[in-house]
């Protein structure tokens, strides 16, 4: 088992600033939160927690990528950034189209076949992995708290990224539980049962379009 020494952490004041900034960024609803909320409303708290776990696992991919330089590649290569961005956008839009094409919901919530939690988890991983803004965030945010004087930079990236991912899982789980609790009423509402696939599909397609339209200002590549 990999044990990361605490000496790799920033000084207490810098660590407090890191945690504060991370919490502020995590509580602001973004694409990942919207995905978790949509899953929770659609299928309940267990699916919401599964999607939150998938998001957290996907963020670990970006942590490892940041530690070993892939984030730098995405920042320096417009082509690499575009490939990842549009792949994520297409995936989200396809999820939305599939929702629109689903058969109408039956009269009762017990008749709605739930998606396997494993599939929900994998979808969460893909949503996060295919979100280039997460990679760009780690590239821009984590280096501010990394110093070669404290030891191997890659290990510092890993440790800070793990802290951020665990904090994100806790925050996303609150969203999942809250939306899942509300889903009991929503799924028992006949109007919602008839329209929920359009609501979920619109959320997914909207996230895909927002991802495709997103852009990041970067200095020219030399």
Q: Looking at per-residue confidence, does 209 or 80 come out higher?
A: 209
Helical packing angle, 45-67 and 31-43, nearest 10°: 150
List, for residues 161-194, the tens digit of each pLDDT value: 888 899 999 999 998 998 888 776 766 665 665 6
Please report which confidence band the pLDDT of residue 82 belongs to, taking 50, 70 and 90 as the band edges.
confident
- The pLDDT score that the predictor gives to residue 13 is 85
Q: Structural domain boundaries of the chain?
A: 30-213
Q: At residue 86, does pLDDT exceed 50?
A: yes
- The pLDDT score that the predictor gives to residue 217 is 42
Most confidently predicted of 2-16, 157-171, 198-212: 157-171
- The pLDDT score that the predictor gives to residue 125 is 92
Q: Looking at per-residue confidence, does 22 or 64 come out higher?
A: 64
Q: What is the pTM of this model?
A: 0.69
Q: At residue 99, does pLDDT exceed 90?
A: no
- Looking up tokens 């904090």 gives 167
Q: What kind and span of H or E run contains 91?
A: helix 78-101
> With 0-12 CB in 10 A as exposed, 13-18 as middle and 19+ as buried, what is 107?
exposed
Computed over every residue of the chain, the mean pLDDT equals: 76
């Amino acid at each position: 088992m990999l044990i990361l020494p605490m000496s790799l952490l920033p000084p207490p004041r810098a660590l407090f600033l890191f945690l504060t900034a991370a919490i502020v960024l995590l509580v602001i609803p973004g694409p990942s939160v919207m995905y978790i909320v949509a899953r929770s409303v659609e299928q309940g708290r267990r699916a919401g927690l599964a999607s939150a776990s998938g998001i957290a696992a996907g963020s670990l991919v970006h942590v490892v990528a940041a530690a070993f330089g892939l984030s730098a590649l995405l920042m320096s290569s417009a082509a690499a950034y575009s490939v990842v961005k549009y792949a994520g956008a297409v995936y989200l839009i396809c999820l939305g189209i599939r929702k629109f094409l689903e058969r109408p919901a039956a009269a009762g919530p017990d008749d709605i076949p739930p998606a396997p939690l494993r599939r929900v988890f994998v979808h969460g991983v893909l949503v996060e992995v295919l979100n280039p803004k997460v990679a760009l965030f780690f590239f821009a945010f984590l280096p501010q708290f990394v110093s070669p004087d404290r030891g191997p930079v890659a290990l510092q990236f890993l440790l800070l990224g793990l802290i951020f991912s665990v904090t994100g899982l806790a925050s996303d789980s609150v969203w999942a539980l809250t939306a899942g609790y509300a889903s009991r009423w929503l799924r028992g509402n006949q109007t919602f049962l008839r329209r929920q696939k359009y609501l979920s599909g619109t959320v997914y397609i909207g996230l895909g379009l927002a991802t495709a339209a997103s852009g990041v200002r970067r200095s020219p590549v030399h």
